[in-house]
Chains A and B, each alone.
Chain A
Amino acid sequence: MRAGMKAGIPIAVASVLLGTSFGVLAQPVMGTVAPIVMSAIVFAGSAQFGALAVLTAGGGAGAAIAAGVLLNMRYLPMGIAIAPSTSGGPVRRALAAQPLIDAGWAMSSRGGGRYDLQYMWGIGAVCWPTWVAGTALGVFTGDLIDDPDKLGLDALFPAFFLALLAGEVRSSRAAIAAALGALIALALSPVTPPGVPVIAACAAALVALSDRSSADREPIIEPEPHGAAP
């Protein structure tokens, strides 16, 4: 868990910045308390930004919930992915999955379908407080920051996911899955509601089944440590 906390520091930094950005944008629409409560109990950046976009545009609760649920739907396959790595009874397994966030999930991948959940908990343990604190910071300092996008904060997470992907592509099969996943997302984004492209991209992982020869299976290699280099 401690290794995960250390590895989570770069995401925690990004969390503060993105959380601030969420707080700034949410305060005029949701008020002062609601954005902070939302970050504390929802703790899912893309769904929060997605639901906020709907509410900002004047959409009702139903549309905002639908947008958020669709964006959160990818945690279903992610949960299935970590399922074999969980242990204990149903309650314990359900709890083990709660610190699931995109970056923490990807960084906990150990190849061959295995996940280090202690590590994932460590990452969640440093990212949750920074996400909530960042949101509070944004809510209370929003008057000073007129447009968080001017700071390029919206480029932080795609770049972050790119760095994680660079560590994740350890076989030609993984590279093919990544390319297909990107193509699916690109093709579906203009025609489906937000959230659907990412879920549909899971189909790219089906390339795992394209060749059953055992010689070509995913190698089980420890991933390079993320963010350890200065």
Chain B
Amino acid sequence: MSATWQTIAALSITLIATKAIGPVALGGRDLPAALMRFIGLLAPSILAALIVVGTLTAADGDLEIDARLAGVGVAAGILVTRRSALLPAVAAAAMIAAAVRAVA
């Protein structure tokens, strides 16, 4: 089996398991209130980290500033004006990043 197919097989199996562990091990139990509050804050914590990683890192994980930052910056400006402007913000991010790359 080639490296490609080994990678695909291993990632699909480990991902199914990774997703299932929490629900299988913890599901159905009443979790302590403090843990529920912690869980409630996982979304903003992880989303913020994904934004940083997606905007500021290269494929190897090192920090890299490029046209993405301009695109995401404009999206942030749009979202500050109107919090629900998801599509305009996302479209603007791609267009600005493409425009910056075209002139750079």
Instruction: Return chain B residues, CB-CB under 8 Å to A200.
Output: 49
Contacting residue for A84 out of B26, B34, B94, B99, CB 8 A: B26
Bound: A209/B59 CA distance, A = 34
How many A-B residue pairs lie within 8 Å, measured between CB atoms? 343
Does A2 belong to the interface (CB within 8 Å)?
no
Task: Give the size of the chain A interface in residues (CB under 8 angstroms).
Answer: 115
When the two chains form their complex, are residues B23 and A83 in contact, meaning their CB atoms are under 8 A apart?
yes
Contact A112 B68 (CB under 8 A): no
Q: Are B94 and A155 in contact (CB under 8 A)?
A: yes
Contact B93 A158 (CB under 8 A): yes
**Which among A34, A173, A192, A227 is the interface contact of B8 at CB below 8 angstroms?**
A34
Q: Are B79 and A82 closer than 8 Å at their CB atoms?
A: no
Given contacts A112-B40, A218-B41, contact A185 B53 (CB under 8 A): yes
Interface of chain A residues 170 through 209 with chain B (CB within 8 A): 173-175, 177-182, 184-186, 189-190, 192-195, 197-198, 200-209
Closest chain B residue to A175, Cβ basis: B44
Asked if A123 CB lies within 8 Å of chain B CBs, one says no
A142 to B13 CA separation, bound complex (whole angstroms): 28
Given contacts A79-B18, A153-B94, contact A64 B7 (CB under 8 A): yes
Q: Report how far A181 CA is from B21 CA in the complex, Å.
A: 23
| Known contacts A49-B59, A162-B76, A162-B89, A80 near B48 by CB under 8 Å | no
Residues in A with CB closer than 8 Å to B43 are 81, 105-106, 109, 168
In contact, A154 and B97 (Cβ under 8 angstroms)? yes
1/0 per residue, CB under 8 A from A, across B74-104: the answer is 0110010011111101101111111101100
Residue of A51, A185, A202 near B11 (CB, 8 A) is A51
A30-B4, A47-B11, A165-B51 are contacts. A156–B36 as well, Cβ < 8 Å? Answer: no
The CA of A160 and the CA of B88, in the complex, are separated in Å by: 10
- The docked-state distance in angstroms from the alpha carbon of A167 to that of B22 is 25
Q: Known pairs A159-B72, A189-B56, A197-B52; list 10 more (Cβ under 8 Å).
A: A17-B94, A47-B15, A152-B98, A174-B44, A185-B49, A203-B45, A204-B41, A205-B39, A208-B37, A229-B86
What 9 pairs between A and B have smallest CB-CB spacing? A79-B22, A159-B93, A152-B97, A201-B49, A152-B98, A158-B54, A155-B71, A80-B22, A181-B45
